[in-house]
Amino acid sequence: EKKLTPFEAIGEDRLHQLVDTFYGLVGQHPDLAPIFPNQFTEIARKQKQFLTQYLGGPSIYTEEHGHPMMRARHLPFPVTPTRAKAWLSCMKQAMDKIELQGPLREEFFSRLYLTAQHMINTPDGDE
Ligand code: HEM
């Protein structure tokens, strides 16, 4: 028996639901909305590609955009500790809404927590 990747365990449809729900919340969050574009179509498309490979699915982000270098790609945007917290809070709410539960959720969220900390590039109050 082959062990499922987290991508297979969550499933493509639910991962896409998660991303769409997440950006719906980001668009309404007062700390986040100002640094995002008004239209979430393109960023949601890229995030679906990125999270697919992050969770062990096919490398569709890299195929289209090259090496992820996520920290470098975030440097043009002031990612403060407050914004990282807000990002994670939107993700938690999105996981609640799509009812992603159990160890799969816990492992996914703790990886995102670490990645979000790594994205911080600006102190609070400096943005
Ligand atoms: C792009 C904010 C964390 C994945 C972006 C953009 C912003 C942003 C403003 C650019 C939107 C645009 O195209 O105009 C933030 C903030 C974070 C955060 C405030 C708080 C810590 C993360 C994390 C991940 C992630 C943890 C992955 C797990 C992405 C991806 C893109 C992106 C895949 C698209 C990159 C591309 O252009 O190809 N983010 N982000 N972000 N972010 Fe984040």
pLDDT in tens, 16-39: 999 999 999 999 999 999 999 999
Q: What is the pTM of this model?
A: 0.97
Question: 62, 67, 42: which is closest to 52 by C-alpha?
Answer: 62
State whether the beta carbon of 50 lies less than 6 angstroms from ligand 1.
yes
Terminus-to-terminus CA distance in the chain, angstroms? 50
Q: CA-CA distances (angstroms) from residue 93 to 58, 75, 123?
A: 26, 26, 25
Tell me what the mean pLDDT of segment 95-111 comes to.
98
User: CA-CA distance, 41 to 23, in Å (whole number)?
Assistant: 9
Assembly ipTM: 0.97
For 19-31, give the DSSP string.
HHHHHHHHTT-TT
- Sorted by where each starts, the structural domains of the chain and their CATH numbers stand as 6-119 (1.10.490.10)
Q: Which of 55, 63, 70, 107 to mutate to test the pocket of ligand 1 (most atoms within 8 A of CB)?
A: 70
72 CB under 6 A from ligand 1?
A: no
Whether residue 44 has its Cβ less than 6 Å from ligand 1: no
**Mean pLDDT, range 44-68, rounded to an integer:** 98
Identify whether the C-beta of residue 82 lies closer than 8 Å to the C-beta of residue 29: no
